[in-house]
């Protein structure tokens, strides 16, 4: 490997694996968009935009975790990254509202959620343990979506609701791992809580995509 590239990459192996799994997640999100191609529609677009933002945030995460950056540059990159993550959660919630109460309801709540998402990100940066506050925001939104899809699956009102529900459950488990201090070594490759979060989230994507495809 050329020396300039070695100098560019961060030396911490855990950060390297986090960046690599971020790139894998970005690739999986792009594949998810392709798998949802078809006749244009409100719900399809919502899910495709959510996966597009996931791909963008994961690519940005790979830069933050994988490259040697100054503290000020890293801090500046975290701001749009957190906004992207908050918008993804807003779109997931919008999709759940649309599936439960119809597209008109989804279209009404989307502007509100889209405004709240970056606002909450800004607020979480102004308080102690701001990232924990963001995780609580994510948990509340995802549990709400989980309850909606669990109800739809129970009533058999939406094909694929059970798969989406399982995907959300795995996503919530991934968020729990990210808030922990868990670290494992797989084949001499170290993974911290961030890398493990990405691996578990990779398992959630196929479930979500399969469920959404059936519901469409």
pLDDT band for position 132 (cuts 50, 70, 90)? low
Percent over 70 (pLDDT), the chain: 90
Does residue 126 carry a pLDDT above 70? Answer: no
Average pLDDT over residues 33-37: 94
What pLDDT digit, counting tens, does each position of 62-105 carry? 999 999 888 889 888 888 888 898 899 999 999 999 999 999 99
Cα–Cα nearest to 19, from 81, 71, 76: 81
Q: Say whether 138 sits in a helix, a strand or coil.
A: helix
Q: Give the total residue count for the chain.
A: 216
Does residue 4 carry a pLDDT above 60? Answer: no
What is the DSSP-derived secondary structure letter of residue 9? B
Distances (CA, A) of 16 to 11, 28, 30, 56, 126: 7, 18, 21, 18, 29
Percent over 90 (pLDDT), the chain: 65
More confident residue, 53 or 127: 53
Average pLDDT over residues 166-188: 91
Does residue 39 carry a pLDDT above 60? Answer: yes
Q: CB 151: neighbour CB atoms within 10 A?
A: 14
Mutual angle of helices 71-101 and 103-124, in 10-degree steps? 160
What pLDDT digit, counting tens, does each position of 15-26 carry? 999 999 999 999
pLDDT band for position 119 (cuts 50, 70, 90)? confident
Average pLDDT over residues 7-14: 82
Average pLDDT over residues 30-57: 93
Does residue 170 carry a pLDDT above 80? Answer: yes
In this predicted structure, what is the pLDDT of residue 133? 67
In this predicted structure, what is the pLDDT of residue 11? 83
Spatial contact of 145 and 96, defined as CB atoms under 8 Å apart = yes
Does residue 201 carry a pLDDT above 80? Answer: yes
């Amino acid at each position: 490997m050329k020396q300039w590239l070695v100098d560019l990459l961060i030396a911490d192996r855990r950060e390297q694996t986090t960046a690599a799994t971020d790139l894998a997640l970005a690739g999986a999100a792009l594949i998810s968009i392709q798998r949802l191609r078809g006749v244009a529609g409100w719900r399809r677009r919502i899910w495709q935009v959510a996966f597009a933002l996931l791909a963008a945030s994961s690519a940005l995460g790979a830069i933050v975790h994988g490259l040697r950056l100054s503290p000020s540059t890293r801090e500046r990159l975290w701001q749009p990254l957190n906004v992207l993550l908050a918008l993804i959660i807003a779109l997931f919630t919008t999709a759940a509202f649309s599936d439960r109460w119809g597209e008109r309801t989804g279209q009404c709540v989307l502007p509100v959620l889209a405004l709240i998402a970056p606002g909450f990100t800004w607020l979480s940066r102004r308080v102690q343990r701001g990232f924990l506050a963001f995780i609580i925001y994510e948990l509340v939104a995802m549990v709400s979506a989980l309850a909606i899809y669990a109800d739809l699956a129970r009533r058999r009102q939406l094909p694929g609701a059970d798969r989406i529900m399982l995907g959300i459950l795995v996503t919530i488990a991934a968020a729990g791992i990210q808030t922990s201090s868990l670290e494992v070594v797989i084949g001499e490759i170290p993974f911290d809580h961030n890398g493990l979060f990405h691996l578990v989230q990779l398992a959630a994507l196929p479930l979500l995509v399969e469920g959404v495809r059936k519901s469409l």
